[in-house]
Amino acid sequence: MQAGIHPEYKDVVFQDISTGETFLTRSTIKKTSGETITLDGNEYPVVRIEVSSASHPFFTGKQSLVDTEGRVEKFRQKYGLRK
């Protein structure tokens, strides 16, 4: 890699604020909360996020599906095609 053109790549902990779940990963993020967290005996900067796979309805299985069956038929019955 060419020196001086790539962003700093470091370990960061992302924490879901609704579930408290933490994810340790590497990131080039520059803005953190300034807080640190200790995991596995090491301190890492923390980034708080609102939605993650731990709280998103799609991944938790709590997603509700909209029943669209019969909508077109109801529309046709209500407004019907006039000949």
Q: How far apart are CA 20 and CA 50, in angstroms?
A: 10
Q: With beta carbons less than 8 A apart as the criterion, state whether 21 and 54 touch.
A: yes
Q: With beta carbons less than 8 A apart as the criterion, state whether 25 and 19 touch.
A: no
Greatest mean pLDDT among 25-29, 65-69, 77-81: 25-29
At 9-61, the pLDDT tens digits run: 899 999 888 888 899 999 998 877 788 989 889 999 998 887 887 776 665 66
b vs e for 69-82, b when ≥16 Cβ sit within 10 Å of the residue's Cβ? eeeeeeeeeeeeee
Listed by start position, the domains of the chain span 1-62
Secondary structure tally for the chain: helices H, strands E: 2, 4
